[in-house]
């Protein structure tokens, strides 16, 4: 089966990590892949790695005109007979920190990229998906159903993505367009390393009086992030599952991956105050410690 016969897939956020690995996995399976990047250097690197079956497209998911131009470029490349069988919404960032201290502009950026960006891309490609009952895959997170302290920005974006995906799935059902959410736990990807570095720089730059308010709990959570970044799901495993979802005859609406996902789901079944207490003690973010620090 040729690439034209198998169909095309659009993958966003292909500079590194999940997006790049998904794009290469799909090319290896015989799909024609369009991978979004934001720089010429990333486009060149992606094209070199993927070969003739992978076409980089310049697209910023937060720029409406850029998204429309990307969709138009894919439409022109496919022509009237080309088939867009799927899009993989992956482009995103991870912001963490105490909500009291994070600038609202930082929170807006998190939601703009991880929520509105996913929706903007999906909206732009729906006409092409509708022609052949294509499929939408959203890269979500297990953080959507259990939010640790200091992960509010990222987790809220993934919670919103769940609701948007549910609405899209039900609205697009008459055209047999499936909308599937991937809910992995920790994934070994550069995303969290970058987030930790930028988060550290921001936190250390706070006034000392503000920093001391959250130093104990924030420091413990940061250590958890660092530990998880090196022992999560291999990104290749997630990419293979995404490909399987695109190829499944009748996919589920959600796919959960990772051993930590089970723990999250079990904790989410407990009373809220029990979970609150467990997290507070685990991170040392308790009234006793805060009073002790203040004293």
State residue 179's pLDDT score. Answer: 98
pTM (predicted TM-score) = 0.92
Query: Which parts of the chain sit beneath pLDDT 50?
Result: none
Q: Is 120 in contact with 12 (CB distance < 8 Å)?
A: no
Q: Is 286 in contact with 205 (CB distance < 8 Å)?
A: no
Find all residues with CB under 8 Å of 154, minimum gap 6, and list them. 94, 95, 96, 110, 114, 141, 143
State residue 199's pLDDT score. Answer: 85
State residue 102's pLDDT score. Answer: 95
Total number of domains constituting the chain = 1
- Give, for 187, the enclosing helix (H) or strand (E): strand 187-188
State residue 292's pLDDT score. Answer: 63
Question: Which CATH number does the domain housing residue 42 bear?
Answer: 3.40.50.720
State residue 230's pLDDT score. Answer: 66
Provide the 3-class DSSP secondary structure of residue 151. coil
State residue 289's pLDDT score. Answer: 78
Question: Which is nearest to 168 in space by CA: 179, 181, 183, 158?
Answer: 179
State pLDDT tens for residues 219-245. Answer: 888 887 777 666 788 999 999 999 999
State residue 274's pLDDT score. Answer: 94
Domain that holds residue 153: 3-294
State residue 291's pLDDT score. Answer: 63
State residue 223's pLDDT score. Answer: 83
């Amino acid at each position: 089966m040729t690439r034209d016969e198998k169909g095309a897939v659009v993958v966003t956020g292909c500079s590194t990590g999940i997006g790049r690995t998904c794009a290469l996995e799909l090319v290896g399976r015989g799909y024609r892949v369009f991978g979004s990047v934001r720089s010429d250097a990333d486009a060149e690197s992606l094209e070199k790695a993927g070969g003739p079956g992978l076409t980089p497209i310049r697209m910023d998911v937060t720029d409406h005109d850029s998204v429309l131009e990307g969709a138009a470029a894919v439409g022109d490349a496919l022509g009237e007979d080309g088939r867009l069988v799927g899009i993989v919404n992956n482009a995103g960032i991870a912001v963490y920190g105490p909500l009291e201290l994070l600038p609202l502009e930082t929170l807006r950026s998190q939601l703009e990229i991880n929520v509105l960006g996913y929706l903007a891309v999906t909206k732009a490609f729906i006409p092409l998906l509708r022609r052949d009952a294509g499929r939408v895959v959203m890269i979500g997170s297990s953080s959507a159903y259990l939010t640790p302290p200091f992960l509010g920005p990222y987790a809220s974006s993934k919670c919103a993505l769940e609701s948007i995906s549910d609405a899209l799935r039900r609205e697009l059902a008459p055209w047999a367009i499936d909308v599937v959410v991937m809910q992995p736990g920790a994934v070994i990807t550069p995303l969290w390393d970058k987030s930790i570095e930028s988060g550290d720089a921001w936190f250390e730059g706070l006034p000392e009086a503000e920093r001391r308010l959250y130093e104990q709990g924030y420091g413990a959570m940061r250590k958890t992030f660092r530990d998880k970044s090196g022992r999560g799901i291999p990104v290749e495993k997630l990419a293979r599952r995404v490909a399987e979802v695109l190829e499944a005859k009748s996919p589920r609406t959600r796919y959960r991956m990772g051993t930590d996902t089970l723990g999250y789901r079990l904790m989410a079944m407990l009373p809220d105050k029990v979970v609150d207490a467990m997290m507070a003690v685990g991170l040392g973010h308790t009234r006793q410690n805060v009073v002790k620090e203040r004293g």
